[in-house]
Structure 1
Amino acid sequence: MNYKLISIDLAKTVFQVAAFNGDNSIAFNRKVSRPALLDTLRQCSPTMVVMESCYSANYWGRAIQQLGHDVHLIPTRMVKAMLVGNKNDANDAVAIGETAGRPKVSLLRPKTVEQQDIQSLLRIRERLVDNRTANCNQLRGFLAEYGVIVAKTRRQLMMAIPLILENADNALSTTARSFIQRLYEFQLVLDEQIEQVVLEIQSLAKAMPIYPLLLTLPGVGPVVAATILASINDISDFKNGRQLAAWLGLTPSQYSSGNTNRLGKITKRGNQTLRRLLIHGARTVLAWCDKKDDPLSLWLQQLKQRSHICKVTVALANKLARMVWAVMSRQQAFDIQKVCKVSALAA
C-alpha cells in the first residue's frame, strides 16, 4: 500500500496510526497494539513516517527505519498548535501528520543507539552532580547549626571536614560527628561515581570521528562535546549555523507589526542542557579573552566595551553554536583565524 505520509501517536501499549494519501486525505486512522505496530508498517511501501519527539520515539524511530521508512520526529509544542477538536489519540495522530506538512516545521532524525547511550549517561551524570551539590549544601547547613562555618568551594569543604571531625574543641556532638562522617563518605562515593560516568561518556564519544574536532572549539570540553553529539541527531537537519543557534534558543525573540520591528530576549527554545553548557563555555572563554590577541578574543574585547557582560556571554554562546555547525557539517577542525573577519574587528 502506498501512502504519502504516515503519522503515529506513540503510547505504551496502544498506538494511533494515521495514513495520508497524495491529496492529503486520510486513508485510515486506527488504533494498533504494540506488537502489531511494526507489522502494520511492514505492509506499507517505504514512505515518510512522523512521530512526536517524546517517550520511546527514538527506539521506535530506529525500528521503523529498519523497515525502509524515512522517519522524522516533531517537537510536541508544534503539534499542539495544529490540534483541531478534542484531545484524543485520533485527533493527535492527524495533528502530527498535518504538522509535518507545514513549511517551517523542524523535523529531526531519531538518535542512534550510540547517541542514546551517551545521552543516558549524561542524564545520570547530571543527576549525580545534583545529588552531590545537595549533599554539600546539607553538610554546610548541619555544620553551621553547630557553629562551624566552612569556605565556599566544594574542594575546601572536603578538605576541611576531616580536620573538623578531629577537632575536639568545636561544638559538634558525638551524634553530629557520626552523621557528618557518613555524609562525607557519601560525598566521596558520589565523586567516584561521577568520575566513572565521565570516563564512560568519553569512551563512547571517542568512537565518533567528529568528537576530537569538537574539542578544538573554544569553551568546549569533553562533557560539552559529548552533549553536542547526543543532542544533535543529524547536523544535515540544519541548513546553516543560525538554524542551529535558533534551535537551541540562542537567538532573540522578535515582535514585528507594520513598521515596528523589535528584538527581545533570547527565545530559550530547544535543548536547555546544551544551551546552558554553551553559555558556561562562553563564560570560560570570556574569562581569558583579555590576555589573547586572536581574532575571536579581539572581537570579544570590543564587544565587552559596548555591551553588558551577560549579553556578551550569550552572543558568544550563539557564535559557539554556529561554530559547532561549521565543524560538524564540514568535518574540519576549528580555525580561530576564520571566526571573525578583519572588517568586523575594525567596525
Structure 2
Amino acid sequence: MRPTDKTGNQDLPRGQGDHATLYVSLELSRSTWLVTSLSPNSAKMSKHTIPAGDAPKLLALLARLRGRAERFVGGSLHVVVIQEAGLDGFWVHRSLEANGIESHVVDPASIAVSRRRRRAKTDSIDGETLLRTLLAWKRGEPRVCEMVAPPTPEQEDRRRLSRERATLLRERVQHVNRIKGLLAGQGITDYDPLHKARRARLDGLTTGDGRPLPRQLKAELLRELARIELLLQQIADVEAERDLSIEADADGRPSPIALLAQLKAIGPQIGAVLYHEGLYRSFANRRDVAAYAGLVPTPWRSGSIDREQGISKAGNPRLRHIMIELAWLWVRHQPNSALSAWFRARVGNERGRIRRITIVALARKLLIALWRYVTQGEVPEGAVLKKA
C-alpha cells in the first residue's frame, strides 16, 4: 500500500529515475513563499516558509535541501521546481534557471482539483497538489497539466508598447466621460474635449439657463483638459516608438508586423498586438494557435447530453479581443476573401446572436490564416494587399 500524506491522499508512485531528483513546488503570495519539497526515496513532503520576494533565501534553501538529500542518497541530485503563473511574472523562473535549476511554470487553471462543493484550500494543500502535478508531468502522463512557455525578457518588453497604449486610451476615455458628465449637469451636451480648440470653446460655454460656467467647475474642467493633453502627448510618443519598432531590419527584410500591416483591415496597432501577443510564439499546429487565444469550442457531452458551452476563453485575452475586432474589420475591408464569403454564407441576412457566434468562428479561422501568413508566407485566400 502506498504511503499517505497528512490530508489522507496517497502519494503518486515515482519512476525509476526519480531517485536522483529533488522535486520542489513554490506557492507564491505577497507576504510569504511556501516551499514544498520531496526528497528521493522519501514518502513525506517537507515544507518551509520564506519571506516573499527573497530570491537569495530561496536559492540558499534549495541548496540546503539539495545538500541534505545528496548526503542521504550518497550522490549528486537534479533539482526540478514548479510554480504557478501569476502576479510574480517570470522573474523567479529566470532566477532559478540562471542558477542551474530546472524550472517550470504551470497554468493554474489546468491543474485538476477536487469537485466537492466545500473543498479545503490552503497554501499547504496547494503546494502538495503542485508537487503531485509535477511528478505526474515528469512521468509523462498525458494532459495532466499545461505548462506555460515563458517569453524571453526581450519578447516580454516588446509588447509593453501595445499594452501601454491600451491603458492610455482607457484613461483618456475616463477623463473625456468625466468632462462630459460635469457639463451635462449644467445643460451642456455639445462639447468635445478632444477638439483641437477645446480650451477656446470652453471659454465660450454657457449653462442651459444662460449663465457662464461656475468658477470652480471651470477650474476643474481645465485640470481635466490638462490631463487629457498629457495623455494625448503620451499616446503620440508611444505610437511613434511603435512605428519605429516595425521598420525593416538591417538586411532590408520587413518585420512580421509590417507583413501583417500590408493586408487591408490590419493597421500598425492591430499588427503589433497580433504579433507581440501571440504570433511571435512557435505553435505545433493550428489547434494550438486557436487554443492560445481561447477561441476553441468547449463541448459538454455525456450520455444523451450534447451541447456547446461556447469558446473556452482560457487563452490570451488581449489576443482574443483584438481578433474579434479584426474579424469585423475583415468582413468590411476584405469582402472578396474566402473567409468573408464563408461568413456571409453562414450568416446570410441573420442578425443578433447568430451573427455574433459566427464572427467568433471567423476570428478563429482568421487567426490560423494569419499564423500561416507570418510563418509560411501564405496569403489568406482572396485577401487583398495594400498598395505600396
* Match status 1:179 vs 2:220: yes
1:170-227 deviations in Å (ceiling 9; x for gaps) = 6442524443333223212111112223334455566896444444566544334443
CA distance in 2, matches of 1:91, 1:310: 41
**If each structure's helix is expressed as a fraction of its own residues, which one has the higher value?**
1
- Quickly say closer, same or farther: Cα 1:31–1:146, change in 2 above 3 A: closer
Q: Which residue of structure 2 aligns with residue 243 of structure 1? A: 288
Extract unaligned runs of 5+ from structure 2: 1-18, 67-75, 384-388
Q: Work out the percentage of aligned pairs sharing the same amino acid.
A: 24
Q: Which residue of structure 2 aligns with residue 18 of structure 1? A: 36
Would the aligned equivalents of 2:22 and 2:77 in 1 still touch at CA under 8 Å? no
- With CA pairs under 8 Å and 6+ residues apart, which has the higher RCO, 1 or 2? 1
- Quickly say closer, same or farther: Cα 1:225–1:41, change in 2 above 3 A: farther
Q: Which residue of structure 2 aligns with residue 92 of structure 1? A: 126
CA distance in 2, matches of 1:193, 1:39: 43
CA distance in 2, matches of 1:24, 1:215: 57
Counterpart AA for 1:332? Q
Would the aligned equivalents of 1:289 and 1:300 in 2 still touch at CA under 8 Å? no
Q: Which residue of structure 2 aligns with residue 335 of structure 1? A: 379
Deviation of residue 229 (structure 1)?
4.7
* Match status 1:282 vs 2:318: no
Would the aligned equivalents of 1:289 and 1:297 in 2 still touch at CA under 8 Å? yes
**Pick aligned residue for 1:198 from 234, 239, 244:** 239
Deviation of residue 258 (structure 1)?
1.8
* Match status 1:310 vs 2:344: no
Deviation of residue 70 (structure 1)?
4.1
Would the aligned equivalents of 2:24 and 2:79 in 1 still touch at CA under 8 Å? yes
Instruction: Find the residue that maps to 1:285 and give its secondary structure.
Output: helix
After alignment, is 47-56 or 205-214 more displaced? 205-214
Q: How does 1:57-206 map to 2 (within 5 A)?
A: 57-79=89-111, 81=113, 86-100=120-134, 101=137, 103-104=142-143, 105-150=145-190, 157-159=194-196, 161-162=198-199, 164-167=201-204, 171=210, 172-175=212-215, 176-203=217-244
| Structure label with greater radius of gyration | 2
CA distance in 2, matches of 1:118, 1:82: 39
Would the aligned equivalents of 2:337 and 2:382 in 1 still touch at CA under 8 Å? no
| Aligned pairs, number | 331
- Quickly say closer, same or farther: Cα 1:63–1:222, change in 2 above 3 A: farther
Please provide the CA RMSD for this pair: 3.7
CA distance in 2, matches of 1:119, 1:146: 42
Counterpart AA for 1:62? R
Q: Which residue of structure 2 aligns with residue 345 of structure 1? A: none
CA distance in 2, matches of 1:62, 1:126: 27
1:219-275 deviations in Å (ceiling 9; x for gaps) = 544334443455449734x43222332332222221101243212322222322221
Deviation of residue 136 (structure 1)?
0.8
CA distance in 1, matches of 2:40, 2:272: 41
After alignment, is 43-52 or 105-114 more displaced? 43-52
Q: TM-score, normalised by structure 2?
A: 0.70
